[in-house]
Structure 1
Amino acid sequence: MDRYRGGLRHWLLLRGWTRLIKARARRAEDLGMRCLHVIVPEKLSVYDDKTDGLRYAPGKASTRRLARRLARHPAYLDLLAPLRAARNGATPLYLRTDTHWTAQGCLLAYREIMRALGAVPPADIGGRPGTVSEQIMDLGEKLPERPRERLERFMLQRDAMRVETGPLLAAYEAQGRDREVHVGAHVVYRNPSPGADPRRLVLFGDSCAHFDPFLLTGLLAESFSEVHFIWSSSLDWPYIERVRPDILLFEIAERFLAKLPKDDFDVAVAGQRGTGGRLARLGSDGLGRAVAPQ
């Protein structure tokens, strides 16, 4: 709730983010890349009409204030306004006991991103088959009754294929522990479909994008010829300069704005954390990708 109270510290934090976004955009432009930042709003920022008298100031949400600061800047896309506009639709954009957006909330944001990037979504992307299950979500796990909610997920993957997996994620997947992987997870998807946008996209994001192809990363992988996903709020500029994407996309959940990144991330180093003996069997090339020993 601190992020809804305003004050000098919050003002300084958002000033820091504003400067960082502008600096990233300038550096990307110098490299010939399109740079875009999106922030996934908190439920409290979107559904302030359903908080039953909870005392907080939604008008002071970081997403609202950054949208005002960066209203005319091409490197920032406001997702709060379209999500609020759609909040009373038939399909929930967030579940009651989960911090993440739903598949439909993500799909709405994806369409906004595609529009901002001048890209055309696959015609059937919103009609892909899906799965429905009853799950205990992240907030539900903290409640004594551990309620279950109806979770819908798209089965998006059709044209895109995961062609590279970083050693950290590869090691955890080999042990069936991929749900435990967060910062440092790294994958690359390629899409040979003639209908895919020919541009290469690098996405630095979090669990609202994810390395598995059921949220934002999956939607983008079905839309662009090549998508790199790195789970990090801090950029790895040497990696970006080696990959030379046409588009540099940054996604972060609003709650994680509390810490201003230093952009000193190293994909290769982060990919080696916690991999144990697997790294004795896996090498790493200069892009932090798993390479089988010869």
Structure 2
Amino acid sequence: MSAGRESVHVGRGGWLFLTGGTNRVLERYRGGLRHWLLLRGWVRLIRARARRADSLGIRCLHVIVPEKLSVYDDKTDGLRYAPARASTRRLARYLARHPAYLDLLAPLRAARNGPVPLYLRTDTHWTAQGCLLAYREIMRALGAIPPADIGTRPGTVSDQLMDLGEKLPERPRERVERFMLQRDAKRVETGAYLAAYEAQGRDREVHVGAHVIYRNEAPTADPRRLVLFGDSCAHFDPFLLTGLLAESFHEVHFVWSSSLDWAYIERVRPDILLFELAERFLARTPSDDYDVAVAGQRGTGGRLARIQKEGLDEKRPTPELQ
């Protein structure tokens, strides 16, 4: 069944799936000429990014985090859609053996029946264990060795109302595990936009525009510098993919954006350029005209300047990419 303004489908065992919303999730499974043209645009973009990065001596890698619908179709209980047409499945085929694309769908599906869920039952995001699996795949692709204890770091477990659960009248809650990853890495820089919200305890409202830098001086850290453009599956706080990478590499820059800032990349000159995006956000092809320096103001009528002058208002920042 489907319920809620954002079209939440209730599957087996209380598993919830986002099927609608602004990104029209189910349309990613319908095929047709429009979908083919969209994915062709992504293939061309990924190849062009890889060529430009290679010209700068930078290793470029793209990962798309599959929708829960793409991984756990066995739990959807009668939802009419075609998981075989998932964008992640088709991109993996179009970009097979291309060094700039890493397929996460196959390993996640292979492990979906394991003892620990890879996605949250009442949320769109992966669990700590799902993220850890993807991280290990990324590290393997980059020729990097994870810290020996990374999968056994302490964590917290709490009972929470998650984003899909809160859309239902029953408001089901879920026990959520979070890794306490941060040990060697320290955040050494925070963008002004995020800093303004953190100063008032409202960092959970920040999405696109967040920018942080972590540095890891541990002698066991991979000496390379990595720049990550990503979304909430990576996050600026060190409890998901960004945190795992920060504990693994000497320096990690995280920028919350689907569009790249090539001027920033050329200035930082990372060894690795990593791009992470949730599958539903493939609905739009980015223009790669992002500017990290003015990210807090772009499209907001000078929002950062107003924050610095007047303080925060009570409206949430526009979540262009959550």
TM bucket by the smaller chain? over 0.9
Question: Which residue of structure 2 lines up, in the alignment, with residue 23 of structure 1?
Answer: 48
How far 1:95 moved relative to its partner? 1.5
The structure 2 residue matched to 1:90, chosen from 115, 119, 144, is: 115
Question: Which residue of structure 2 lines up, in the alignment, with residue 125 of structure 1?
Answer: 150
Matched, 1:69 2:94: yes
Structure 2 distance, partners of 1:49, 1:229, is 34
Question: Which residue of structure 1 lines up, in the alignment, with residue 6 of structure 2?
Answer: none
How far 1:275 moved relative to its partner? 3.0
Gaps (5+ residues) in structure 2? Answer: 1-25, 311-322
Gaps (5+ residues) in structure 1? Answer: 282-294
Letter in 1 for 2:272: I
Q: Deviations over 1:117-138 (max 9, x none)?
A: 0000000000000000000111
Matched, 1:220 2:220: no
My pick for the range that moved more, 144-153 or 123-132, is: 144-153
The structure 1 residue matched to 2:308, chosen from 271, 276, 279, is: 279
Q: Deviations over 1:107-157 (max 9, x none)?
A: 000000000000000000000000000001111111111111000000000
Q: Is the 8 A contact 1:186 1:271 kept in 2?
A: no
How far 1:10 moved relative to its partner? 0.2
Question: Which residue of structure 2 lines up, in the alignment, with residue 288 of structure 1?
Answer: none
The structure 1 residue matched to 2:259, chosen from 217, 234, 238, is: 234
Matched, 1:146 2:179: no
Aligned residue pair count: 281
Q: Is the 8 A contact 1:199 1:245 kept in 2?
A: yes
How far 1:53 moved relative to its partner? 1.6
Q: Is the 8 A contact 1:172 1:275 kept in 2?
A: no
Matched, 1:262 2:287: yes
Structure 1 distance, partners of 2:167, 2:88, is 26
SS at match of 2:304: coil
TM (norm. structure 2) is 0.86
Q: Deviations over 1:195-252 (max 9, x none)?
A: 0000000000000000000000000000000000000000000000000000000000
Matched, 1:253 2:282: no
Letter in 2 for 1:262: S
SS at match of 2:207: coil
Matched, 1:136 2:165: no
How far 1:278 moved relative to its partner? 5.0
Letter in 1 for 2:135: Y
Question: Which residue of structure 2 lines up, in the alignment, with residue 172 of structure 1?
Answer: 197
Structure 2 distance, partners of 1:280, 1:238, is 28
The structure 2 residue matched to 1:50, chosen from 75, 78, 84, is: 75
Structure 2 distance, partners of 1:158, 1:96, is 29
Question: Which residue of structure 2 lines up, in the alignment, with residue 284 of structure 1?
Answer: none
How far 1:191 moved relative to its partner? 0.1
Question: Which residue of structure 1 lines up, in the alignment, with residue 84 of structure 2?
Answer: 59
Matched, 1:199 2:224: yes
Q: Is the 8 A contact 1:234 1:261 kept in 2?
A: yes
My pick for the range that moved more, 142-151 or 202-211, is: 142-151
Q: Is the 8 A contact 1:168 1:271 kept in 2?
A: yes
How far 1:271 moved relative to its partner? 3.1
How far 1:276 moved relative to its partner? 4.5
Q: CA RMSD in A?
A: 1.1
TM (norm. structure 1) is 0.94
SS at match of 2:177: strand
SS at match of 1:203: strand
Runs of 4+ in 1 over 4 A off after TM superposition: none
How far 1:279 moved relative to its partner? 3.5
